[in-house]
Amino acid sequence: MTKRPEPRDRAPRATQPMLSVEEAQKKVLSAFQRLETEPAAILEATGRVLADDIRADVDIPPHANSSMDGYAVQAADTATASQESPASLHIIGDLPAGHVPEQEVEAGTAIRIMTGAPIPPGADAVVKVEDTETEDGFVHIFTPVEPGNYVRPAGEDVRRGALVLRRGTRIRAQEIGMLAALGDTQVPVTRKPRVAILATGDELVPIAESLPPGKIRNTNSYSNAAQVIKHGGEPILLGIAPDTVAELTAKIRAGLKQDVDLFLTSGGVSVGDFDLVKDVLAAEGEMDFWRVRMKPGKPLAFGHIHGVPILGLPGNPVSVMVSFEMFARPALLKMQGAADWERSTVDATLMDEIPHKDERRHFVRVRLEWEEGEYHAYLTGAQGSGILSSMVKANALAIIPEDWNSAPSGARVRVIILD
């Protein structure tokens, strides 16, 4: 069956606005708000974004305690201790971690104490066991200690009332540890954005199927879904829409019924005859079609359909990932209320030449290595927008600015760290 696209009034290519990456990001980001707060069980909060400030309602540690195994003493008792004339203190008790002191340390006495045990009343220092000898119920101490020696004061780590974790923080293992120390079994986090993902193209088949002649597997839905997961969202795979108005429209409408916060399509936004996505998006919602001054990923559609923000990403497997990185990732982070969405960048020396380039900003797939005291960025192979293997080898994207028409090996470039 041959399909002829219906004739349509498509704006000629050159009239689509050409935006800088920043202009496009700004327009996209302005369409998103932080989503609602929900409680998560502590471990489920790993990798999510904290939705409220967390203040300490206790001191951590809750009581002054010993940082060594040794003897709790009055420092003054050790003031004149020496190898020849040690201080000899009467051992009046034993204090393991987790136990409450029952006795008071008075002048001339000591309590054997374990790491983490509360400092007993009267004591103001700990002498570590290695610096002592014991004999007939006495401990001999050979060097003077200062008050506070090996004592961890109450609240040394966190003072009661202090702001410990800020809203907008991405929760890592150390934040989980802090929440555990505060006894927070439930953590306020922002709801995960739900992201619909629709692949378009007559050439696509589901990945589990064998490949008939002329077909390729639907790669983009999976790379995009993995990006969604990595950045805290929940992907909803809508499968493949063939290049007909009716089927594409039906798939988009079905996807919109699934309560999504962002709708992603791939393919069909360039200028090919069968690129129906633009037409269907325009018919179903309010859409802008842009050329973004970047490579890969020049064509980009953005707008709303039935109130849901929708990003029409390009079809080539690298373009779709880089466009996701530049536009969908910031949107996901903003929806989660993340305090900042910029990737970390470093300056690096470009180790391979880029002989020619156009007036777009090029995001070049590189492997970033720390060598001889600086970062080196090596091209990972052919940079065609369909060459996924060079994305596989890459851990970073080198930014080659718009106004360079080539980049010599040895040039200093800014590099976006992906992993």
Interface with Mg ion by CB under 5 A: which residues?
201, 267-268, 315
> Rule CB under 6 A: is residue 227 a binding residue for ligand AMP?
no
Three-state DSSP at 24 gives: helix
Question: Distance between alpha carbon 392 and the CA centroid of its chain, in Å?
Answer: 19
Among 52-60, 140-148, 196-204, 401-409, the segment contacting ligand AMP (CB under 6 A): 196-204
Whole-number Å distance between alpha carbons of 298 and 289: 11
**Is residue 90 a contact partner of residue 108, using CB atoms and an 8 Å limit?**
yes
Three-state DSSP at 191 gives: coil
Query: Taking the complex as a whole, how short is the minimal distance between the CB of residue 303 and Mg ion, in angstroms?
Result: 19
The correct pick among 204, 294, 350, 366 for binding ligand AMP (CB under 6 A) is 204
The correct pick among 219, 227, 265, 383 for binding ligand AMP (CB under 6 A) is 219
Which CB sits closer to Mg ion, 297 or 337?
A: 297
Query: Taking the complex as a whole, how short is the minimal distance between the CB of residue 174 and Mg ion, in angstroms?
Result: 45
Among 24-32, 88-96, 244-252, 309-317, the segment contacting ligand AMP (CB under 6 A): 309-317
> Rule CB under 6 A: is residue 296 a binding residue for ligand AMP?
no
Three-state DSSP at 333 gives: helix
The correct pick among 168, 193, 317, 337 for binding ligand AMP (CB under 6 A) is 317
Query: Taking the complex as a whole, how short is the minimal distance between the CB of residue 308 and ligand AMP, in angstroms?
Result: 20
SS3 helix, strand, coil % of the chain, rounded to 5? 20, 35, 45
Which CB sits closer to ligand AMP, 235 or 314?
A: 314
Name which of 167, 200, 166, 170 is nearest 332 in CA terms.
Answer: 170
> Rule CB under 6 A: is residue 156 a binding residue for ligand AMP?
no
Among 31-39, 119-127, 197-205, 303-311, the segment contacting ligand AMP (CB under 6 A): 197-205
The correct pick among 134, 169, 270, 349 for binding ligand AMP (CB under 6 A) is 270
The correct pick among 155, 193, 255, 267 for binding ligand AMP (CB under 6 A) is 267
Whole-number Å distance between alpha carbons of 275 and 326: 22
Whole-number Å distance between alpha carbons of 348 and 376: 5
For 292, which DSSP code? Answer: E
The correct pick among 272, 384, 408, 410 for binding ligand AMP (CB under 6 A) is 272
Query: Taking the complex as a whole, how short is the minimal distance between the CB of residue 197 and Mg ion, in angstroms?
Result: 15
Element (H, E) at 224: helix 220-230
Query: Taking the complex as a whole, how short is the minimal distance between the CB of residue 169 and Mg ion, in angstroms?
Result: 40
Which CB sits closer to ligand AMP, 201 or 309?
A: 201
Name which of 51, 24, 21 is nearest 36 in CA terms.
Answer: 51
Query: Taking the complex as a whole, how short is the minimal distance between the CB of residue 278 and Mg ion, in angstroms?
Result: 11
> Rule CB under 6 A: is residue 297 a binding residue for ligand AMP?
no
Among 82-90, 130-138, 250-258, 265-273, the segment contacting ligand AMP (CB under 6 A): 265-273
> Residue 373: which residues within 8 A CB-CB, separation 6 or more?
none
**Per the structure block, which two tokens stand in for 352?**
């391979």
Element (H, E) at 55: strand 54-55
Query: Taking the complex as a whole, how short is the minimal distance between the CB of residue 280 and Mg ion, in angstroms?
Result: 12
For 386, which DSSP code? Answer: T
Which CB sits closer to Mg ion, 101 or 201?
A: 201
265 contact, one of ligand AMP, Mg ion, none, CB 5-8 Å limit per kind = none
User: Residue-wise over 40-79: b if at least 16 C-beta within 10 A, else e?
Assistant: beeeebeebbbbeebebeebbbeebbbebbbbbbbbebbe
Whats the size of the chain, residue-wise?
419
Cα angle 278, 17, 417 (rounded to 5 degrees) comes to 85
CA torsion through residues 109, 115, 119, 125, sign: positive
> Rule CB under 6 A: is residue 201 a binding residue for ligand AMP?
yes
Query: Taking the complex as a whole, how short is the minimal distance between the CB of residue 321 and ligand AMP, in angstroms?
Result: 11
> Rule CB under 6 A: is residue 199 a binding residue for ligand AMP?
yes
Which residue reads 């269907």 in tokens? 280
Query: Taking the complex as a whole, how short is the minimal distance between the CB of residue 279 and ligand AMP, in angstroms?
Result: 13
Question: Distance between alpha carbon 384 and the CA centroid of its chain, in Å?
Answer: 28
Binding footprint of ligand AMP on the chain (CB under 6 A): 199, 201, 203-204, 216, 218-221, 266-268, 270, 272, 275, 314-317
